[in-house]
């Protein structure tokens, strides 16, 4: 459905009727096509629009359109670049698509409009071979420097086993490592300043303070950090390409491993997006079960964050205590889903199975226990003088900067922006629950941690409401595309049996279309932008992750500070490597 009023109406009024063709999408996000010669004009206007500007660039990505069958209301294109903007004032999104022709097309950069476009454009170049003219450092970001080809192009092999056996001798390894050598000149950095030289310190990719395989090269003037260059891509697991060969149903386990501390929180936006495409309504009981388990995983993820943060500052005991609390939560996860970290338990149209008898007692015990523990941790961590000294006023991000760099989740709220999708755009049944959204004032490392601590309390509150008001009913929709389909009627009529057989063997056939679902993960906004070409697999799966945006901000956060501050800042940014590189 295409709305002719609102943003699309304003755009056609401003740029002339018919000059920006609109496209219908299943998610209802206003989508317009703008030619390569005027898309910058459109984006600039949207960014500076009076009375509710689209100030946040949430995502840039591309679609290889060359083998797509269903493009009925879209202009001809070999590739299309997709810009996704968010207006917080209007609480609305807009999608601007640019059609490109040719096998290696190019386009003007928008790094001058939004600073966070830098990494998104690099990624799009790396994955599709689309050049962004005027980009300051258009080089590989997710694939290694010795890579050939652009993986998300349709002609690039997907499987490693298609690419021949892997051989690497010691000499090969050294040759590859030589290409990873950091050259300050590549990043426009000087090696010396007048009478003295800068020191370049390499941290990572294997370092206890980096929380995973990411590399930071720090330019130091004595003790002071002058600049920093993050090097990512060590954890690139090809999750987006994977979506193009897994069925809609069998892709669910891959989503668990995106933010691997968040488990079911990752399933949420993915199944929501598929349900939008397929038009599935989820029964109330399934909604409440989903919300409860998602909030449990938010607590689990925040506990790891809280513990590792305090360990980064030199505390020992909180990490052990919080990991033990996490084990208690995992006892519930194991009883309900059978898994621990990656249960892959949400299903298209509901959840995998009903709650087991006795779940409520476990959940109630955990909530009571956790509330007491969180009070204890306030004393040991948040009120600790050393913790305060090392985090208050460190790693400052202003409201404007946070929005301009696409920060989301607790990171954004710590800077004083009241933006929680569970409140602002309730999805999956969140509108039924009472909870508060903590908002910070300073935007420093301490506030970022405080947001997480308060969120644990609020999640417990939501879980308690789920516990006390669990509705009766079915845990899965009876829509024919819900996968695996419900079993009751399967053996009674042939139509249902065939549908069941196809749903389980081939997987559901989701109608052609495009939809995005954005959800509030533990670290920020996760979004799954799915393009269906009317098949059993997605044509394009785009995963927008919060950690990618947040790690891009690290240089800005730590300029002028020292290495111990960098460690405290990294500890206060809730990030996970698979959530950066996917």
Partner 1 sequence: MGLVVLRRKRPIGLPHGLERPSSSANDVYLSRRNDLIAWGRKYSMWPFNFGLSCCYVEMATSITSKFDISRFGSEIIRGSPREADVMVVAGTVFAKMAPLVLHMYEQMMEPRWVICMGSCASSGGMYDIYSVVQGVDSFLPVDVYVQGCPPSPDAFMRGLVLLGEAVATEKRPLSWVVGPQGVIRTVKPSLRDTMRPERQKQTDLRSPDEV
163 binds partner 1 (CB under 8 A): yes
Between residue 480 and residue 509, which ones bind partner 1 under the rule CB under 8 A?
none
Which residue, 26 or 342, has its beta carbon nearer to partner 1? 342
Question: How far, in Å, CA of 35 to CA of 81, rounded?
Answer: 11
Rg (CA), the chain: 24
The 3-state DSSP class for residue 402 equals helix
Smallest gap from residue 284 Cβ to partner 1 (A):
21
Which residue, 142 or 271, has its beta carbon nearer to partner 1? 142
The 3-state DSSP class for residue 525 equals strand
Smallest gap from residue 127 Cβ to partner 1 (A):
11
Element (H, E) at 133: strand 131-133
468 binds partner 1 (CB under 8 A): no
Which residue, 180 or 497, has its beta carbon nearer to partner 1? 180
Instruction: Considering only the stretches 23-31, 357-365, 506-514, 524-532, report the one whose residues sit in contact with partner 1 under the rule CB under 8 A.
Output: 357-365
Q: Return phi, psi of residue 32, to 5°.
A: -125, 155
Between residue 93 and residue 152, which ones bind partner 1 under the rule CB under 8 A?
142-144, 147, 151
Smallest gap from residue 270 Cβ to partner 1 (A):
16
Question: Cα angle vertex 272, ends 268, 273, to 5°?
Answer: 120
Smallest gap from residue 168 Cβ to partner 1 (A):
5
Question: How far, in Å, CA of 459 to CA of 479, rounded?
Answer: 30
Among 102, 188, 358, 560, binds partner 1 (CB under 8 A): 358
Query: Phi-psi region for residue 94, left (φ > 0), alpha (ψ -120 to 50) or beta?
Result: beta
Burial of 266 (0-12, 13-18, 19+ CB in 10 A): buried
The contact mask relative to partner 1 for 165-204 (x = CB under 8 A, - = no) is xxxxxx-xxx-xx---------------------------
Which residue, 74 or 308, has its beta carbon nearer to partner 1? 308
Between residue 361 and residue 390, which ones bind partner 1 under the rule CB under 8 A?
361-362
Residue 64 DSSP class: E
Which residue, 69 or 178, has its beta carbon nearer to partner 1? 178
441 binds partner 1 (CB under 8 A): no
Residues sharing a CB contact under 8 Å with residue 402, sequence separation 6 or more, in sequence order: 411, 412, 415, 417, 443
| Beta bridge pairs of residue 229 | 217
Asked if residues 249 and 507 have their Cβ atoms less than 8 Å apart, the reply is: yes
Instruction: Considering only the stretches 164-172, 182-190, 407-415, 474-482, report the one whose residues sit in contact with partner 1 under the rule CB under 8 A.
Output: 164-172
206 binds partner 1 (CB under 8 A): yes
Which residue, 359 or 427, has its beta carbon nearer to partner 1? 359
Residues sharing a CB contact under 8 Å with residue 222, sequence separation 6 or more, in sequence order: none
Which residue, 52 or 356, has its beta carbon nearer to partner 1? 356
421 binds partner 1 (CB under 8 A): no
Number of residues that bind partner 1 (CB under 8 A): 63
Which residue, 239 or 404, has its beta carbon nearer to partner 1? 239
578 binds partner 1 (CB under 8 A): yes
Distances (CA, A) of 316 to 307, 310, 311: 9, 8, 6
Burial of 294 (0-12, 13-18, 19+ CB in 10 A): buried
Residues sharing a CB contact under 8 Å with residue 478, sequence separation 6 or more, in sequence order: 486
Nearest CA among 351, 434, 337, 440 for reference residue 397: 440
164 binds partner 1 (CB under 8 A): no
DSSP 237-299: --HHHHTTTSBTTTTHHHHHTTSTTTTHHHHHHHHHHHHHHHTPPPPHHHHHHHHHHHHHHHH
Smallest gap from residue 227 Cβ to partner 1 (A):
23
Smallest gap from residue 525 Cβ to partner 1 (A):
21
* Residue 235 CB-half CA count within 13 A: 25
Smallest gap from residue 446 Cβ to partner 1 (A):
25
Asked if residues 33 and 74 have their Cβ atoms less than 8 Å apart, the reply is: yes
Instruction: Considering only the stretches 90-98, 231-239, 451-459, 466-474, report the one whose residues sit in contact with partner 1 under the rule CB under 8 A.
Output: 231-239
Between residue 245 and residue 284, which ones bind partner 1 under the rule CB under 8 A?
253-254, 257, 260-261
Which residue, 10 or 331, has its beta carbon nearer to partner 1? 331
Between residue 298 and residue 327, which ones bind partner 1 under the rule CB under 8 A?
304, 319-320, 323-324, 326-327
Which residue, 326 or 476, has its beta carbon nearer to partner 1? 326
* Residue 105 CB-half CA count within 13 A: 22
467 binds partner 1 (CB under 8 A): no
* Residue 578 CB-half CA count within 13 A: 15
Residues sharing a CB contact under 8 Å with residue 330, sequence separation 6 or more, in sequence order: 300, 340
Smallest gap from residue 429 Cβ to partner 1 (A):
24
Please report, as ranges, the residues that interact with partner 1 according to CB under 8 A. 142-144, 147, 151, 156-161, 163, 165-170, 172-174, 176-177, 205-206, 208, 212-213, 233-238, 241-242, 253-254, 257, 260-261, 304, 319-320, 323-324, 326-327, 335, 338, 340-342, 353-354, 356-359, 361-362, 577-578
């Amino acid at each position: 459905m295409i709305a002719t009023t609102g943003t699309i109406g304003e755009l056609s009024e401003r740029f002339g009727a018919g000059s920006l063709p609109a496209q219908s999408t299943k998610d209802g996000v206003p989508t317009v096509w703008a030619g390569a010669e005027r898309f910058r004009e459109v984006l600039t206007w949207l960014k500076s629009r009076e009375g509710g500007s689209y100030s946040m660039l949430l995502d840039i990505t591309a679609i290889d359109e060359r083998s797509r069958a269903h493009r009925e209301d879209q202009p001809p294109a070999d590739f299309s670049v997709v810009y996704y903007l968010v207006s917080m004032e209007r609480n609305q999104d807009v999608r601007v698509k640019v059609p490109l022709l040719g096998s290696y097309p190019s386009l003007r950069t928008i790094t001058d409009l939004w600073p966070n476009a830098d990494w998104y454009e690099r990624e799009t170049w790396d994955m599709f071979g689309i050049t962004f003219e005027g980009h300051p450092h258009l080089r590989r970001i997710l694939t290694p420097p010795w890579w050939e080809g652009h993986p998300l192009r349709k002609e690039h092999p997907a499987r490693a086993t298609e690419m021949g056996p892997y051989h690497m001798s010691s000499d090969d390894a050294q040759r590859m490592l030589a290409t990873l050598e950091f050259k300050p000149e590549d990043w426009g950095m000087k090696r010396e300043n007048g009478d003295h030289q800068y020191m370049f310190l390499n941290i990572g990719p294997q370092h206890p303070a980096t929380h995973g395989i990411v590399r930071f090269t720090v330019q130091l003037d004595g003790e002071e950090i002058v600049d920093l260059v993050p090097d990512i891509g060590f954890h690139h697991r090809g999750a987006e390409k994977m979506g193009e060969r897994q069925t809609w149903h069998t892709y669910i386990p891959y989503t668990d491993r995106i933010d691997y501390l968040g488990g079911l929180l990752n399933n949420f936006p993915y199944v929501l997006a598929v349900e939008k495409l397929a038009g599935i309504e989820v029964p109330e009981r399934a909604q409440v079960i989903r919300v409860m388990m998602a909030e449990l995983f938010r607590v689990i993820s925040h506990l790891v964050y809280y513990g590792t943060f305090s360990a980064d500052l030199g505390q020992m005991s909180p990490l052990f205590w919080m990991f033990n609390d996490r084990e208690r939560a995992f006892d519930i996860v194991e009883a309900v889903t059978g898994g621990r970290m990656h249960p892959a338990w949400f299903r298209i149209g509901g959840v995998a199975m009903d709650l087991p008898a006795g779940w409520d007692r476990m959940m109630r015990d955990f909530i009571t226990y956790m509330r007491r523990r969180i009070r204890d941790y306030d004393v040991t961590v948040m009120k600790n003088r050393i913790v305060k000294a090392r985090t208050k006023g460190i790693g400052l991000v202003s409201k404007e900067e946070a929005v301009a760099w696409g920060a989301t989740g607790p990171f954004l709220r710590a800077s004083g922006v009241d933006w929680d999708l569970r409140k602002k755009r309730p999805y999956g049944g969140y509108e039924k629950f009472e909870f508060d959204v903590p908002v910070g004032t300073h935007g420093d490392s301490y506030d970022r941690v405080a947001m997480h601590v308060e969120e644990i309390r609020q999640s417990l509150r939501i879980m308690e409401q789920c516990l006390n008001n669990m509705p009766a009913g079915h845990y899965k929709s009876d829509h024919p595309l819900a996968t695996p389909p419900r079993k009751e009627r399967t053996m009674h009529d042939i139509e249902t049996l065939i549908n069941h057989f196809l749903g389980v063997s081939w997987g559901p056939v989701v109608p052609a279309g495009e939809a995005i679902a954005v959800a509030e993960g533990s670290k920020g906004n996760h979004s799954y932008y799915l393009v269906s070409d009317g098949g059993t697999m997605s044509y394009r799966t785009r995963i927008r992750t919060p950690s990618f945006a947040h790690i891009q901000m690290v240089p800005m956060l730590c300029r002028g500070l020292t290495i111990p501050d960098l460690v405290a800042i990294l500890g206060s940014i809730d990030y996970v490597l698979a959530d950066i590189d996917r």
